[in-house]
A and B are shown apart, each in its own frame.
Chain A
Amino acid sequence: MFGSRRLSRLLVATVAAGGSAALVGVMAVATSSAGAAPGASSGRIVAVGAENEYADVISQIGGQYVRVTSIMSNPNTDPHTFESSASVSRVVSAAQLVIQNGVGYDTFMTKIEAASPSSSRKVIDVQHLLGLPDSTPNPHLWYKPTTMPAVAKAIARDLTDLRPDHAAYFQQNVQIFDASLTPYYQEIAKIKATFPDAAVATTEPVADYMLQASGIDNMTPWVLQADIMNTTDPSPQDVSIQDALFTGKKVKVFVYNQQVTSSVTKAFYKLAQHEGIPVVGVYETMPTPGYHYQSWMLAEADAVYNALASGKSSPKL
């Protein structure tokens, strides 16, 4: 239902995790415009994460010296079809530090930055940071276990440029952040060791990097995943292959993207349930409130482990 509950959840979710409420929907931005350039008075660095998982890492590294806003944070929205608005342009053009994913996932960010050029604005494009080509098929880079430590390092470098006096503080936070990823790394290592080459099916490539790191074999044809991601109609041939994965019990787990759904994904979901295959729900952006990047990744890896170990379904986080 599109009721007030969903709307209020959207507004709540728009607040960046850890950051002090900078953007609360279009309305709030309009009203806060009286306060003009946010951050100028408080002396905090104004930062924007195009996706809330990046915003979360900025606030973990920058702590009390940053004010972070995330653009895409609603777990009920498909970020692939996100439409930008004037309020987003305002927030981005005022930012001193911006993180965006790249690989065509958040092209609107580049457009906004080009429309309001600023020599003092620092932009971390994760695709470029990792040295990936534009043709990278899977844009969900934050699911790569090696991505966020590199991002955290880049954040600390840029924050240090902006506030050299707090360099030690940012550096210390990077170490704390890296250490806090250990339980997640241990969980994927455990999956790899306990269930080598476990076969799963997916709807969409969102968690593919994590599955690969866990040594999991994703049996779903790539074209089907890409069709669902790009919201084009999948071919009946690929649908038949996917159906056979469930009816033939060829997969142990069905990894289901809760943020990119359609009648096709729902039909797969039903079939998987009918065949008694455990379903694990995964997300494009960080479910809020209650999660940080590390705990989110750990929760999903944990859910995959439990599904493999005991056949437990966790369709939602």
Chain B
Amino acid sequence: MGGFWSHVVEPGFFQSQTVQVALLVGGVVAAISAVVGVLTVLRGQSFAGHALGDISATGGSGAFLLSINPLFGFLGMGLAAAGCMEAIGVRRVRGRDVATGIVLGAALGVAALFLYFDTTFHSTSGAAITVLFGSLFVVSSSTVPAIIACASGALVVVLVLYRPLLLSSVGDDVAAARGVPVRVIGGLFILTMAVTVALSAITIGAILSTALLIGPAATALRMTRRPVTATATAVAIGVAATWVGCLLAYDSFYWPPVNHGWPVSFCIVALVFVFYLAVDLVRSFRLRRTNLPADKSNGAVVRAHPLDTLSTGIEAASASGSE
């Protein structure tokens, strides 16, 4: 048995300081990403979340030029982009993805310029890989307090605004009718999302950050429709994927090509995807086997997830609200 476990957890895993930092940072970031992610999916803002990640790449690559901690680059640019997207009207359904897409394209262009400067005029090597695809194994231990502080801040905002956020995810006018300051709440949430995505960007890279934000949340919401249960499930999935991903990346040192570990970001994202597929498979298998009369009665819901109708509801509600 001991022999088996020594192959599952290769020697030195828990002693390695690199791994300790990775497990701590990865766990914290996966948890807050899952919490914010559930609300992001419920509010139908997945694309905005992805865009924030890509845009934060500009800040990350700029940080290398300024020789500052990339986390602050990701954070600064993410927050600025969130403010910008809020200002030019991501809330309006018409033109929402257009506005996001235009900001996203421009920002990635600037990121390309910064990365060129990073490699041409600066001794920082591998900035492109680090910014875009990240690595939990190169997160400096001096960044840990800042990461935990940001994650705690995001968590506090979510906890304080939890009810109004949920309410406005059903529909802005419903929430407004109940006295929720929809605009303020929406603005605060997109800023929280920016902080979360920045944390995720430092963990698994700007391009992949959306995987930690949306992946575990979407998987959990396929398992349960209750927001609190879904959040707890998403946290469990996110943290599990991150920790097991770290372990796989560590063990991959002994896989071909021997003595070269596989990228930890790949391992994490692959696991997030596997979780999603597995839950989806189990779900469709169950639906087919039981063939519940309830499902027959509203056939559309059998194929489309309840949340799909929910998000359509949001679109309809906010469309009618803005026009």
Contacts and interface: CB of A to CB of B under 8 A. Distances in A.
Q: How large is the interface on B (under 10, 10 to 19, 20 to 34, 35 or more residues)?
A: 35 or more
Contacts of A237: 12, 16, 250, 253, 261
Contact of B260 (A2, A227, A236): A227
A232 interface: yes
Nearest to B117: A2
Contact of A77 (B16, B119, B140, B264): B119
Contacts of B297: none
Q: How large is the interface on A (under 10, 10 to 19, 20 to 34, 35 or more residues)?
A: 35 or more
A165 interface: no
B98 interface: no
B276 interface: no
A77 B259 contact: no
B137 A240 contact: no
B311 interface: no
Given A240-B18, A264-B138, A233 B264 contact: yes
Contacts of B121: 2, 6-7, 10, 74, 76-77
Contacts of A234: 137-138, 261
A81 B116 CA distance: 10
Contact of B130 (A77, A223, A262): A262
A217 interface: no
Contacts of A233: 129, 135, 137-138, 261, 263-264
A1 interface: yes
Nearest to A283: B123
A96 interface: no
A260 B124 CA distance: 6
Contacts of B19: 236
A262 B125 contact: yes
A260 B137 contact: no
A231 interface: yes
Interface of B: 12, 15-19, 22, 65-67, 116-117, 119-126, 129-130, 135, 137-141, 250, 253, 259-261, 263-264
Given A262-B124, A262-B130, 8 more contacts: A1-B67, A76-B122, A77-B119, A83-B119, A233-B137, A234-B138, A240-B18, A263-B130
Interface of A: 1-2, 6-7, 10, 74-78, 80-83, 221, 223, 227-228, 231-240, 243, 258-264, 266-267
6 contacts: A6-B121, A78-B125, A83-B116, A231-B129, A233-B135, A263-B139
| Top 10 A-B residue pairs of the complex, sorted by shortest distance between their CB atoms | A231-B126, A235-B261, A236-B18, A81-B119, A233-B135, A231-B125, A2-B65, A78-B125, A236-B16, A235-B253
